[in-house]
Amino acid sequence: MTETRSMLLNVGPSHPAMHGVIRLIMEVDGEKIKGVDVEMGYLHRAFEKMCETMMYAQCFPYTDRLNYVSPLINNVGFALSVEKLLGIDIPVRAQYIRVIMSEISRVTDHLTCIGATAMEMGALSVFLYMMKAREYLYELIEEITGARLTVSYVRIGGVKADLTQGFADKALQKIAQVRRVLVETDDLLTRNRIFFDRMKGVGKISAQDAISYGITGPFLRSTGVSYDVRRAQPYLIYDRLDFEIPTGTQGDNLDRYFVRMAEMEQSLRMVEQCLAQIPQGDVNGDLTGCVIPAAQMVDRAKMGQTEEFIEDEVTTDPTLQGSTRKYYNAINAPKKDVVLPAKEDTYGNIEGLMNHFKLVMYGHGIRPPVGEVYFPVEGANGELGFYIVSDGSDQPWRVRVHPPCFPIMAALPKCLVGGMMADLIPTFGSVNMIAGELDR
């Protein structure tokens, strides 16, 4: 007399799908999945607790490492929440720069997602092509911000430094190269019999279930619900840009792939429009006097030779050392209690130095009013919201991140149960779980 029982199988926490650490405890009967339990928390790095011990400006490096494939979107989200709490507006050029960097980050996120998913199904060349396209974008990001991955580029009240000379041409060239890679990927995957069969009808979720689980982003848009935070509650200058919101119909893996490919094209279009529309920076004052490196200015000041400093213009590396007077007004809000002064003022006169001091030392710093705000931005996986409670001091009382992939992972059992073991891999890949964001 034979008796059949289902088997308990452990997938993870350390497993080849290079998405991060998560543990799926699956109950399988042969190849069919009967039950899934998701266990997370393997990358819990206490982001929220650390932010309570830091000043507002010191939280930016922690926000980079939340969704580490699109770090600029997290930076922008946090900065916008604090700016809403303070009630300040930033100059238009800085808003355009933030949008350009956000959209480039969104493209790198979708490239990584599709590349990793395709690699796990055996299409290794697609992964290499996507990484090549990502390298082009990393070169762009590195030129502006100074780092490839963990950038900390955005500041409260503006951005760290202006775009470099000749950025627009370089960006358009790289965008054309990325578009070519997307066309190659499309040729390789979209009408590929194996890819199609493995992704179609797999990992389905209905629109009603998705809404009940609180899912947003490409996952929700693939079920047919057209909700995008950039359209519903436009922030920065998204209301001046012309873009479409791609939606799917079935809510399965193939639709999520199509939605992400279409979103990448829309993001590249948005970057081109921004580069065409961006207003020129203000040039503040006359450029008489010589131009000297900032370090030299400090050295001469230490020796007491400060006579010409009123007119001097200082050069700093635009990606490393902060803003000079020439670009200051274009990228920073005109609020002395929030943004650091221009480098000529910091090194050249005592008022600038005191301003810098009051913003940087412990016990001083940015002091928002007592209150709380919630600000949603459109992250690559969905609605990324920051809920910040302030008690009037220089450290936030509570920072809460609403991670877009948290509800998606809660809904993962619903997508998987009833399918086969092999369907786990493409479904999990198309979920685009980023452990840094999920576990914070």
Cβ 345 to another protein, closest distance in Å? 30
What is the DSSP-derived secondary structure letter of residue 332? B
Choosing from 383, 419, 425, 426, the residue that interacts with another protein (CB under 8 A) is 383
Q: Which residue has the tokens 């047919």?
A: 224
What is the number of alpha carbons within 13 Å of residue 68 lying toward its C-beta?
Answer: 16
Tokens of 244: 């479409």
Choosing from 30, 41, 289, 418, the residue that interacts with another protein (CB under 8 A) is 41
Amino acid identity of residue 25, one-letter, is I
Only segment of 28-36, 93-101, 133-141, 267-275 that touches another protein (CB under 8 A): 133-141
65 binds another protein (CB under 8 A): yes
49 binds another protein (CB under 8 A): yes
Choosing from 30, 374, 418, 422, the residue that interacts with another protein (CB under 8 A) is 374
Cβ 368 to another protein, closest distance in Å? 10
Cβ 215 to another protein, closest distance in Å? 8
Cβ 147 to another protein, closest distance in Å? 9
Nearest to 36 by CA among 410, 426, 432, 429: 410
Nearer to another protein, 254 or 424 (CB): 424
Helix spans in 87-158 (H): 92-120, 124-145
Contact by Cβ (8 Å): 248, 258 = yes
- The interface with another protein within residues 6-25 (CB under 8 A) comprises 13-16, 18, 20-21
Nearer to another protein, 52 or 313 (CB): 52
Choosing from 100, 339, 373, 424, the residue that interacts with another protein (CB under 8 A) is 373
Choosing from 35, 61, 224, 334, the residue that interacts with another protein (CB under 8 A) is 61
Cβ 103 to another protein, closest distance in Å? 19
89 binds another protein (CB under 8 A): no
* Terminal alpha carbon distance of the chain: 51
- The interface with another protein within residues 392-421 (CB under 8 A) comprises 392-393, 397-398, 400, 402, 406-407, 409-411
Contact by Cβ (8 Å): 410, 431 = no
Tokens of 256: 């999520």
Nearer to another protein, 227 or 243 (CB): 227
What is the number of alpha carbons within 13 Å of residue 207 lying toward its C-beta?
Answer: 12
Nearer to another protein, 317 or 391 (CB): 391
134 binds another protein (CB under 8 A): yes
Cβ 113 to another protein, closest distance in Å? 12
Amino acid identity of residue 138, one-letter, is Y
Q: Are strands 154-155 and 158-159 parallel, antiparallel or unpaired?
A: antiparallel
What is each CA distance from 250 to 174, 258, 260, in whole angstroms? 34, 11, 15
Q: Which residue has the tokens 């199904």?
A: 121
- Give the interface size with another protein as a residue count (CB under 8 A): 74
Long-range pairs, 89-92, Cβ under 8 A, ≥24: 89/333, 90/157, 90/158, 90/332, 90/333, 91/158, 91/329, 91/330, 91/331, 91/332, 91/333, 92/237, 92/279
- The interface with another protein within residues 289-318 (CB under 8 A) comprises none
- The interface with another protein within residues 208-247 (CB under 8 A) comprises 209, 211-214, 216, 225, 227, 232-233
- The interface with another protein within residues 331-360 (CB under 8 A) comprises none
Nearest-angstrom CA–CA distance, 399 and 372: 10
Choosing from 7, 8, 128, 320, the residue that interacts with another protein (CB under 8 A) is 128
Nearer to another protein, 340 or 373 (CB): 373
Only segment of 94-102, 147-155, 278-286, 297-305 that touches another protein (CB under 8 A): 147-155
> In sequence order, what are the residues at sequence separation of 6 or more whose Cβ sits closer than 8 angstroms to the Cβ of residue 114?
126, 130, 185, 257, 260, 261
Cβ 66 to another protein, closest distance in Å? 10
